């Protein structure tokens, strides 16, 4: 049996949340989950910011990527990518080098310090994932992860018009 709300306000909020969840579409639900994750993913817990974690994870998964590919892969604005990379470089977590094959392009790579920071952050992120996805069993989590990867891949390949 669910635990009773401690205050009338909490009970009302829980009732509204339950109704909204039952009638909301997947985008609204994803947005709400993203907000929960974002609030819980503090630099104190992760050791780095959530945006840095996302960027470093991308660099790990796409070794030797270009700055342009990173911009597209992270679905961020090119100017924002420059600012993000400036921060990562200043912290010693990533580095940009000119592409020897095309001096107009930058190749981006994670440093050893970036790898260590990413490992620490991902380990801390596991506790947040466990809290947020507590209502799913391991098989359901695997299915959810696969579906989200496919949705993201489709969205990146076919940006909204």
* Amino acid 16: pLDDT: 53
Which range marks the domain in which residue 129 is found? 47-157
The answer, yes or no, to whether residue 154 has pLDDT greater than 50, is yes
Q: What is the DSSP letter of 7?
A: S
Task: Count up the domains in the chain and report the number.
Answer: 1
Phi, psi of 77 (to 5 degrees): -70, 145
As a three-state string, the secondary structure of 56-94 is: HHHHHHCCCEEHHHHHHHCCCCHHHHHHHHHHHHHCCCE
CATH number of the domain within which 61 lies: 1.10.10.10
Residue 13 lies in a domain: no
Q: What is the DSSP letter of 6?
A: S
Task: Please give the average per-residue pLDDT across 74-98, as a whole number.
Answer: 96
User: Which tens digits make up the pLDDT trace of 21-33?
Assistant: 667 899 999 999 9
User: pTM higher than 0.85 for the full model?
Assistant: no
């Amino acid at each position: 049996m669910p635990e009773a709300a401690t205050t009338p306000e909490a009970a009302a909020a829980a009732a509204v949340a339950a109704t909204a969840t039952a009638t909301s579409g997947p985008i609204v639900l994803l947005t709400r989950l993203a907000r929960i994750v974002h609030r819980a993913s503090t630099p104190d817990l992760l050791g780095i910011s959530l945006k840095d974690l996302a960027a470093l994870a991308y660099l790990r998964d796409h070794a030797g990527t270009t700055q342009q590919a990173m911009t597209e892969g992270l679905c961020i604005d090119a100017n924002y990518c420059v600012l993000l990379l400036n921060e990562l470089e200043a912290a010693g977590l990533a580095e940009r080098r000119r592409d020897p094959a095309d001096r107009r392009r930058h190749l981006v790579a994670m440093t050893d310090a970036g790898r260590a920071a990413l490992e620490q952050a991902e380990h801390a992120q596991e506790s947040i994932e466990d809290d947020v996805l507590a209502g799913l069993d391991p098989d359901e989590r695997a299915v959810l992860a696969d579906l989200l990867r496919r949705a993201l891949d489709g969205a990146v390949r076919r940006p909204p018009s």
